[in-house]
Amino acid sequence: MSATDQDTGRRIGDTVLKVDNISLSFGGVRALTDISFTVREHEILSIIGPNGAGKSSMLNVINGFYHPQEGTITYKGQARSRMKPHAAARQGIARTFQNIALFKGMSALDNIMTGRNTLMKSNFISQALYWGLGQKEELDHRAFVERIVDFLEIESIRKTPVGRLPYGLQKRVELGRALAAQPELLLLDEPMAGMNVEEKEDMCRFILDVNDEFGTTIVLIEHDMGVVMDISDRVVVLDYGRKLAEDTPDAVRANQEVIDAYLGVSHDDAA
């Protein structure tokens, strides 16, 4: 079953993110060539394609990690050129990484708490001066983080250092950290890579619930085609830094060019 408007009662809105003619090179390597696509409010859009196709680079452009040589990103009607990641975060964009980027010695709870950083109003000085205010804010943030812990069903490991958690749970904590920022646009880079079937099912459910309950717009990179076809509203296909297709899952699955470049060949989903 695909997650269409009819199935879930969700309403896909207007364009929230516009990617226009983005080209990105690293020295002589062209990672992205003239990429354009749109993301609509509340939708789940997947980016697929072979290893090295430019999928992660695309997410890095969207959240300001990489600065493209050409093209524009327009988020909520605001075109931007050289944005920094923290500015993207303040605009409501959060992400997870292909390789887990957590503080391994810190507890699951404290890792998720770091996701609140961009939302914290009082800095160190004001916390020192107006201790009460800082303390109240801290309590509010802690309460919110506890709600995320409940939502992701990780109560039993909340105090465990993440380095000691199995891989699937680390991925879940990383999702929690991204959610802690209360993003409007959530970018997920292979959130299910390396997971077993059960862990993948859990992660799928959380992604669908986030989308459904909070209305969060989601851009997802994933190699598991079963998952992609199941949960995506639309799919963008990249190959060698170029866009091959932008369409519904069914249309993408039937697209001969996409089959030849990606779907028809075996690929490495743990990369």
Ligand X SMILES: Nc1ncnc2c1ncn2[C@@H]1O[C@H](COP(=O)(O)OP(=O)(O)OP(=O)(O)O)[C@@H](O)[C@H]1O
Interface stretch with Mg ion, choices 17-25, 98-106, 125-133, 136-144 (CB under 5 A): 98-106
Q: Which residues contact 268 (CB under 8 A, 6 or more apart)?
A: 51, 223
Binding to ligand X by CB under 6 A, coded x per residue (else -) over 9-48, reads -----------------x--x-x-----------------
Ranges of H-type helices in the chain: 5-8, 55-62, 85-90, 108-114, 124-129, 131-151, 167-180, 197-214, 225-231, 249-254, 256-258
Got the DSSP string for 22-48? EEEEETTEEEEEEEEEEEETT-EEEEE
Binding to ligand X by CB under 6 A, coded x per residue (else -) over 70-99, reads ----------------------------x-
Binding flag, residue 53, ligand X (CB under 6 A): yes
CA 90 from centroid of its chain's CA atoms:
15
The angle, 0 to 180 degrees and rounded to 10, between the axes of the packed helices 167-180 and 131-151 is 130
Q: Report, in Å, the least distance between residue 263 CB and ligand X.
A: 14
Q: Report, in Å, the least distance between residue 193 CB and ligand X.
A: 9
Q: Which of 37, 39, 56, 216 binds Mg ion (CB under 5 A)?
A: 56
Q: Which of 8, 15, 21, 51 binds ligand X (CB under 6 A)?
A: 51
Binding flag, residue 265, ligand X (CB under 6 A): no
In the bound state with ligand X, the residue whose beta carbon lies nearer, of 49 and 249, is 49
Structure tokens of 123?
């800095």
Q: Out of ligand X, Mg ion, none, which partner does residue 31 contact, by CB within 5 to 8 A per kind?
A: ligand X
In the bound state with ligand X, the residue whose beta carbon lies nearer, of 130 and 167, is 167
Instruction: Write out the residues near Mg ion by the rule CB under 5 A.
Output: 55-56, 98
Instruction: Write out the residues near ligand X by the rule CB under 6 A.
Output: 26, 29, 31, 49, 51-57, 98, 271
